[in-house]
A and B are shown apart, each in its own frame.
Chain A
Amino acid sequence: MIAALILAAALQTGPTLPADKAARADRIAGELRCVVCQNQSVRDSDAPLAADMRALVAERVAKGESDDAVREHLVARYGEYVLLAPRHNARNAPLWWGPVLLLGVGGIVVWRLGRRGADVPFEEETGGD
C-alpha cells in the first residue's frame, strides 16, 4: 500500500487508464517535446514538467478526446514548439513536399539518362566487379 502510494506520487501519470487508452496516451506523449529537456520526448523524460504533461495527456485521453484534440490542447498551452511532428499545413508544405519534388526531378533525370543509352548493346557478363 505504501509502495503503491509512493509509486503514484513519483510517476504522476494522472488517472489510471485502461490498456488501449494508456497506449494511445503513451504514443501521443512520445511525439511531444519535453520543452525543458534536451533531446527527449515527454514520454522519455524524468523532468517534473514532462510528468505534468504526461498527466495532462492522460487526463484528456481519459475524457475520450481525439489525438488531435489532445495535441491542440498542448499546443495552446506550450506553443507549436512541443510538436515533434511538424504540422501538415500550408506553411510547412515545403518541408513535407520538398523531398517528394526533388525525388520527382531525380526520376526524370534517370528516365532521360536511360533513354539516351537506349541503343547501348548488351555485353557478355564477365562476373567481375
Chain B
Amino acid sequence: MTSSLGTLALLAALLLALLQAAGGLWGAHRDKPVLMRAAGSAAVLQAFFVASAFGLLVSAFLRSDFSLLNVWQNSHTAKPVLYKFAGAWGSHEGSLLLWLLMLSGLGAAVALAGRLPDALRARVVGVQGLVGVGFLAFTVLTSNPFRGVGPIVPTEGQDLNPLLQDPGLAFHPPFLYLGYVGMSVAFGFAVAALLEGRMDASWARWVRPWTLLAWSSLTLGIAMGAWWAYYELGWGGFWFWDPVENASLMPWLAATALLHCALVVEKRDALKAWTVFMAIMAFATSLLGTFLVRSGIVTSVHAFANDPNRGAVLLVLCGLYTGGAFLLFALRGGRLTSTGVFAGLSRESALVVNNILLSVLLFTVLLGTFWPTVIEVATGERITVGPPYFNAVGLPLLALIALALAAGTFLPWKRGRSGDLVRKARTPALAAMIAAAVWYGIEGGSLAALCALVVGLWILLFAVFDLARRVRTGEVPARESLRRLRGLPRGYWGGTLAHAGLGVAVLGMVGTAIWAEETRAVLAPGQSAEVAGYTLTLDRIYEAKGPNYLSEVSAFTLSKKGRTLRELYPERRWYPGAQQMTTEVAVGARGFSDVYLAVGEGRGENREARVVRAYHHPLVYLLWGGAVLMAAGGALSLSDPRYRAARVAVRRRPSAPALAPAE
C-alpha cells in the first residue's frame, strides 16, 4: 500500500516537474503569462507530492513497516523514535528523497516569493523544475525508497548503521542538503541572467537571501558533521580531508566567494560574468558532492553503500546540468557587461583577490580529492592525498585571505589611499601579531601553529576593530557609540559576526589540532592515568542495556590536584540488529576545552583492564562556537530589512501579497 502510494506520488511529482520546467522556461521565452503561472502552480504542487512521499516514508519508518525494502534494511522495531525518524534519510534512497524535498520546497518558495519580475521568476522556477526532472527520474528508476520487500514481509529489520544513530548525524543531513540544494536557487538565477542577457543590482539583491540561507545551513551542516566525527569515530579528530568532507567544503568555498562578489554586483555594477560563473560553480560542486558520496569511486567513512552503476548515471546527470550551464555561460556570458571601474587599491579589488584566493583553495581541494583517482586510472597505482597536503597548501592561502579581508574591511569602494589603509590597519595588525606571539610563547607548538594563531587573531581583531571604528569608540561619548551600535544595519552585523566566527574557529583549530595532549594507557579498575594535569581514574566497569544495544560502561572520575571534578562514562556498544560494535566517547567540558576519553578492548588474563585513550583538546569549543557564529552571521544578514525594502523599490508589476519564506 505505502509502496504504491509513495511511487505514485513520486511519479506525479515527476510529471509536474516536467510541466514546471517546460512552462517556466518556454513561457518566459515566449512571454506567455498563462504558461508562467502554470509553472508556478506546478512547482507548488510538485512540492506537495514530494512532501507527501517523504511523509509516507517517515511514517513507514515510524511504524516499522518492513514491507518496504528500505525500511527493512535500515530500521529495527527497538530503535529509538528519533533514529526511526532520522532513519528515513539514513540510506542512499531516503537521502535522495530528502534532497528532492529540499529542491521542490525551494522551487515552491521561489514560485511564491514576493516581488520578483514574472519572467525572471518563471525562469528560476523552470530551471529548478529541470533539475527536479533529472533527480526524480533517477530516484524512481534506480533508487526508489518505496520498493517492496517481496511477498514475505519480515518481522524484524536489519537496523540502521549504529554509527548513524546519533543526534549529531540525525540532523546533519537536513542542514547539509538545504545548503547543497539551496545553491540551486542561485544557479537558477544565474541561468536566468544568461538567458535574459541582463543582470543588475536588483538581481544581486534577489540572489543574496537565498545564497545566505544555503550558506548558513551548509556551515551548520559541515560543523555538525565535524562534531559527529569528533565524538563518534573515537580518535579525537574532527576533519581528515576525506573526499566526502572535501565534497561539502567545495560548495561552501564557492558560496562564500559568491556572497562576496555578488556584493560588488549589487553596489558597483561590476564582476557580473564572474558572479554568474561562481553561482554555477556553487551548484556544480553541490552536485559533485551529491555524486561523490554515492559513486563508489572514492573510499570514505561517510559514503553510502556504493553502487558504481548508479554512480555512473548520477555522473551523467551532474555532467548534463553543470556542462549545460557552463556551455550557456561560454555562449552568453560575454553579454553581461559591467559598467563599474575601480582602482587597484579599492574594496572591489580586495573582493576580487578574495574570490581568486577562494577559487584557488576550491581548486586545491578539488585537485587533492581527485588526484588519487587520476593516478589510479593512469598508472594503476594507489596513492593518498591526505591532511599534510591540504594543510601545506591551505594554510598559506588562508593567510593571504586574511590579508585580503583586512584590506577589504578598511578600503573604500572605487579607490583607496594606501596611507589611509596603513593608518587604519596598523593597530589591529600589530595587536594580532603581538597577541599571537605572546600566546605562542606560552603554549608553544610548531611554526604552523604561530602562523595559524596570527591568522585567527588577525581575522577576529579586524572584525572587532572595524566595529569599534564605525561606532567611533573613544572619539564620541560612550552613549553616542551605543546609539551608533544599534543603528548599524543587520547586514553589516552579519558580515562582522561571520568574519569574527571564522577567526574564532581558526583559533579552535589551532588548539584542537596542535596543542592537543594525548595519553594512552591500559587501566584496570582502581588505576588512573594523567593527561594535561587531569587525573582520570577508572572506578568500575559495568554492563547496561540500551533500547537496541548492549553496552559496557566504564565509569571514570575526572579530577585535578586531588579535587574531583566530574564523572565520565565512555561506552562500548554492541548492536545485535546491525551486528556491529561502536565506541561512544565521553567528553568532559572544562571552559573552552575538552577532556576526551575513549575506551577500547579488554586486556589482561581476565579481561579486567581496558585500553584507554585520553585527550585534552584546548579551545575545541571555539571551533564549534566559531561555526555557530558564522551561521548566525549569515542568518542575521538574511534578516536585513534592506533586502525587503529593495524589493519594494524595484517592484514593477503589482503582484498578490505572498509568503516570502527566505526572508
Binding site for B on A (CB under 8 A): 3, 6-7, 9-11, 31, 33, 38-41, 44-46, 79-86, 91-92, 94-96, 98-99, 102-103, 106-107, 109-111, 113-118, 120-123, 125-127, 129
Q: Nearest chain B CB to A18's CB is how many angstroms away?
A: 19
Q: How many residues of B contact A (CB 8 A)?
A: 63
* B168 at interface by CB-CB < 8 Å: no
Find out whether the CB atom of B386 lies under 8 angstroms from the CB atom of A99.
no
Q: Which of B359, B388, B414 is the one whose CB lies under 8 Å from A120?
A: B414
Q: Which of B341, B360, B520, B601 is the one whose CB lies under 8 Å from A99?
A: B360
- List, in ascending order, chain A residues with CB within 8 A of B609's CB: 6, 10
Q: Nearest chain A CB to B99's CB is how many angstroms away?
A: 24
Find out whether the CB atom of B235 lies under 8 angstroms from the CB atom of A44.
yes
The complex places the Cα of A72 from the Cα of B609 at a distance, in Å, of 36
* B576 at interface by CB-CB < 8 Å: no
Find out whether the CB atom of A6 lies under 8 angstroms from the CB atom of B604.
yes
* Contact flags B228-265 to A (C-beta < 8 A → 1, else 0): 01000101110010100000000000000000000000
Find out whether the CB atom of A110 lies under 8 angstroms from the CB atom of B356.
yes
Q: Nearest chain A CB to B358's CB is how many angstroms away?
A: 10
Given contacts A6-B603, A39-B242, A117-B346, contact A81 B371 (CB under 8 A): no
Find out whether the CB atom of B363 lies under 8 angstroms from the CB atom of A113.
no
- List, in ascending order, chain A residues with CB within 8 A of B389's CB: 84-86, 95
* Contact flags B400-433 to A (C-beta < 8 A → 1, else 0): 0000000000001111010000000000000000
Find out whether the CB atom of B522 lies under 8 angstroms from the CB atom of A3.
yes
Q: Nearest chain A CB to B324's CB is how many angstroms away?
A: 25
Given contacts A7-B522, A31-B388, contact A116 B341 (CB under 8 A): yes
The complex places the Cα of A111 from the Cα of B413 at a distance, in Å, of 17
Find out whether the CB atom of A95 lies under 8 angstroms from the CB atom of B363.
no
Q: Could you list 27 examples of A-B contacts with CB < 8 Å?
A: A6-B522, A7-B521, A31-B386, A38-B242, A38-B301, A39-B240, A41-B387, A44-B235, A46-B601, A46-B611, A46-B613, A80-B382, A81-B382, A84-B389, A85-B388, A85-B392, A86-B389, A92-B371, A99-B367, A99-B393, A103-B357, A103-B360, A106-B356, A106-B357, A106-B359, A110-B349, A114-B349
Find out whether the CB atom of A109 lies under 8 angstroms from the CB atom of B356.
yes
- List, in ascending order, chain B residues with CB within 8 A of A117's CB: 341-344, 346, 415
Given contacts A3-B524, A46-B613, A117-B344, contact A91 B353 (CB under 8 A): no
Q: Nearest chain A CB to B427's CB is how many angstroms away?
A: 18
- Chain A residue nearest to B491 (CB atoms) is A129
- Chain A residue nearest to B608 (CB atoms) is A6
* B320 at interface by CB-CB < 8 Å: no
- List, in ascending order, chain B residues with CB within 8 A of A126's CB: 412
- List, in ascending order, chain B residues with CB within 8 A of A116's CB: 341
